[in-house]
Amino acid sequence: MNDDPMIPLSPDDSFSFDCSSKIGCFNECCRDLNQFLTPYDVLRIKQVPGMSSSGFLEQYCGQHAGPESGLPVVTLKPADPFTLVCPFVSPDGCTIYQHRPSSCRMYPLVRAVSRSRESGRLTEYFALLKESHCMGHEQNQESTVSQWIKNQGLLPYNDMNDKLLEVISLKNRICPGPMDVKTSRFCFMALYDLHPFRRHVFEKSILKDMTLDENLLEKARTDDVALLTLGMEAIKQLILKEP
Contacts with ligand SF4 by CB under 6 A lie at 19, 23, 25-30, 86, 88-89, 94, 96, 100-101, 104, 107, 133-136
Shortest distance, position 94 Cβ to ligand SF4, whole Å: 3
Residue 152 or 184 having the CB closest to ligand SF4:
152
Shortest distance, position 35 Cβ to ligand SF4, whole Å: 7
Residue 129 or 216 having the CB closest to ligand SF4:
129
CA contacts within 13 A on the Cβ side of 100: 19
Shortest distance, position 239 Cβ to ligand SF4, whole Å: 31
Residue 104 or 232 having the CB closest to ligand SF4:
104
Residue 52 or 169 having the CB closest to ligand SF4:
52
Residue 129 or 226 having the CB closest to ligand SF4:
129
CA angle 229, 233, 236 (to 5 degrees): 140
Instruction: In whole angstroms, give the CA distance from residue 71 to residue 167.
Output: 9
Instruction: In whole angstroms, give the CA distance from residue 229 to residue 231.
Output: 5
Residue 48 or 225 having the CB closest to ligand SF4:
48
Q: What are the backbone angles phi and psi of residue 213, rounded to the nearest 5°?
A: -60, 120
Give the residue from 180, 182, 165 showing the smallest Cα distance to 236: 165
Shortest distance, position 81 Cβ to ligand SF4, whole Å: 16
Torsion from C-alpha of 21, 23, 26, 29, nearest 10 degrees:
-130
Q: What are the backbone angles phi and psi of residue 60, rounded to the nearest 5°?
A: -115, -5
Shortest distance, position 104 Cβ to ligand SF4, whole Å: 3
Residue 36 neighbours by CB under 8 Å, 6+ apart:
73, 74, 75, 76, 103
Instruction: In whole angstroms, give the CA distance from residue 228 to residue 38.
Output: 11
Shortest distance, position 77 Cβ to ligand SF4, whole Å: 11
